[in-house]
Chains A and B, each alone.
Chain A
Amino acid sequence: MVLQAFLVSLVAAYGRLEQGWMGQQMIARPIWLCPLVGLLLGDLQQGIIIGGSLEMIWAGVVQVGAVPTEVVTGSTVACGLAIINNLSVAEAITIAIPVGLLATLIGTINNTITVTVWSPMTNSAVERGDTKAIWWLGLAGCATQAIMYAVAVFLAVSAGSAAVQAIIDNIPQIIRDGLSNASGILPAIGIAILMQFSFDKKFVGFFVIGFLLPTFVGFGSVATALAGVAAALIYFFLKPNEVEDD
């Protein structure tokens, strides 16, 4: 149990470091972290399934502006607990949501440390011309956050396992079915947040086509995306340039 919790906490720390030290290439997400958790805990298949399902719900949760949910801890804790306790995907999702909400606190704490400690230290390193100190300081904020994530995830997984099992066993069947059904409708939130990014009235026709292709023609996700690329190319090459007037 302790070893398993430790392995999960490593994935959480890696997730944070991916964002901070490895360029935030959008891969510190459930769909990549959960398979890693699965691999380390010996159930890659379940990791992939939970990762894909969580990704759909959190598709819209992005690190722009206020972060409503912290996906790194949320997905690693939920996936770890689900694999250790043999939970269903719906139950894993039910764990992930509150954990993700709670973990946003860590980010707030860490940003406070950065602004009160690391940032003033950088100012004085600049005045001294101390490039070595700046080298370390430029990595410090993310490092402290990764450590906090790892500790939180370790505690949650090692202490949480027994508690989670006890809670799950005592949840009435009707609530469990309800949560399972709810996990089907939750991805609507992800879609809605994505629409916030890209929705534009004049392109609503493309949205409709996108909806109709899987519904009536049976297009899969790859085929729909390729049709979208075709539509984008048509738009790009047929639309005349509108030169800005100065």
Chain B
Amino acid sequence: MAEHVSLSKKELNSVFWRSYQALGCYSYDKQQGIAYLRAMIPVLEKLHPERDDFIESLRRHNTMFNTTCAFVPFCLGISCAMEEEYANDESGQFDPESIGAVKIALMGPLAGIGDSFFWGTFRLIACGVGAPLAAEGNILGVILYLLLNLVPSTLTRWFGFKLGYNGGRQFLAKIQADGTLAKLTESAKVLAMMVIGGMIPQIVSFPVSFTLELGGGTFVLADVLDSIMPNLLPLLLSLFVYRLIMKGTKVNTIIFGLLGLGILLTFLGIM
């Protein structure tokens, strides 16, 4: 290992593009592991010209890995930097096992943050904004949905990869230690809570058609409910379903339950 090998833009770009296939071969045993190994190959080939070293490096990455897709480039960036450090280590101090250890240490917390941001916040906002518009036949709803997902995801991938390669471990440790990461996650929650609250009146509809002739006047149930608070039933129903889910009721059971409820209430003339 006398000569210094450094990674060029060519290999790094190639790893970045391969990060898109993170779910290309999802398996129970390795989850995204096969795809991670596949993505690392251009860098491993460059750094380990000796066949035995190369095969050893392939083995190192042929392991279980799983995190939110948008954070895969960040992890790959870190792995690339560590492999480069290892390949140029002349002191024999660098333990290659640490490369795998860092991957394993990162994937859990990153999946936690990533799922709450990408599944729980960006997609949710995109859905809250786009779906009601699309349901009315407005193509703007579809376009907004795409943009609200693709823009944050693409930026996270691109800058995440760069950041991961250029000292991402230290950065993550820093924002975790000074509390910025926790605050960021909580702010996302604030946003998500507000969007979810706002989705209820817009996407849940509980049409009440029950009326009763009383002496001279007509009792209209829908008007009475509206005078208490508009959208009261959608709100109560959503909270009720949330409670069911928290108690462990299967989603499919609830789907069929609500279908049955709709038919029953229609049959009784309430809906």
Contacts and interface: CB of A to CB of B under 8 A. Distances in A.
Nearest to A35: B142
Contacts of A137: 25, 34, 38
A48 B192 contact: no
Interface stretch (B83-91, B98-106, B248-256): B248-256
Interface residues of B, number: 120
Interface string A107-146: 0000110110011001100110101001101111110000
Of the listed residues B29, B62, B134, B150, the one surrounded by the most CB atoms of chain A closer than 10 A to its CB is B134
Of the listed residues B125, B131, B264, the one surrounded by the most CB atoms of chain A closer than 10 A to its CB is B131
Interface string B242-269: 1011100011101100110111111100
Contact of B193 (A68, A203, A243): A203
Of the listed residues B20, B24, B62, B141, the one surrounded by the most CB atoms of chain A closer than 10 A to its CB is B24
Interface in A74-116: 94, 97, 101, 111-112, 114-115
Given A31-B130, A188-B234, A200 B193 contact: yes
A162 interface: no
Interface in B194-218: 194-207
Contacts of A61: 251
Query: At the interface, is chain A mostly helix, strand, loop or mixed?
Result: helix
Interface string B19-62: 11111111111100011011101000100000100110011001
A20 interface: yes
Interface of A: 19-27, 29, 31-32, 35, 44-45, 48-49, 51-53, 55-56, 59-62, 64, 68-69, 94, 97, 101, 111-112, 114-115, 118-119, 122-123, 126-127, 129, 131, 134-135, 137-142, 174-175, 177-200, 203-204, 206-216, 219-222, 224-225, 227-229, 231-233, 235-236, 239, 241-244, 246
